[in-house]
Structure 1
Amino acid sequence: MPMRTFQHTVTPADTALALGSGDLEVLATPRLITWCESAAFEVCRPQIDEGRTTVGTFVKLEHVKGSPVGGAVTVSCAEPISDGRRLVCFVTVTDPDGETVASGEVHRAVVDRERFMSKCHRVA
């Protein structure tokens, strides 16, 4: 299955300490999830018709190895599997030694932009 890769270097702003998800200066899981969702969005984008987009609906990620500030990680994202309305991307994150940092899946729903945004702007 074809994979696209996205490179990131951990900065002090990407740490668990900075994001409040822990007290260590290592790559925070919330930042890692953001990078995986961003990769999935980019990989899904070419398959979406004009006037439509994708929104994140589900993330399942196992973060198994720490990455220090200055450390590089590569997010690899497979082409999505589609069930018509939802796209599922499998992701793997590795360090420069090829060791797994995290792996999992990102689900994105295909939505009509205008309809989705009109529902978001409704006031109760």
Structure 2
Amino acid sequence: MIAETKLPKGVKNMELTYTMQGDYLLPDLTVPESPTLGKYGMLRRSYLKDHRDGIYTGMLLTGKLNAHLTEIDRQATEMMERLTAQMAKAQGVTESLKASDQMKWVQMMNNIRSAAEEIVLTELVYS
């Protein structure tokens, strides 16, 4: 049994199917899949939700949020790789250092990654 309802002006006719669950008819609805976000996309979403609620809600309602988060994630990942490579080159962190003194190489690379991530978070994610 499908109940007929009048649709608001401007809304196209939508056909819904229902499934009987016990004594109730439930609509067969599917939720659109959300994009797979990386670390920076998820951090951006949390930042917008907690600190820029108006922007977050506006983007969510217009359907632009997922595209924005995906783009921020892509840009942040690229920037992180580029900065890490540039800083490693500037500080003389090479494969020969890795072969001769692994602990020093690890220490320097961790410092470089931390500095690069701080820049990425400040410039892209939390701006």
Q: TM-score, normalised by structure 2?
A: 0.27
Say which structure is richer in strand: 1
Higher RCO, 1 vs 2 (CA within 8 Å, ≥6 residues apart):
1
Q: TM-score, normalised by structure 1?
A: 0.28
Greater C-alpha Rg: 2
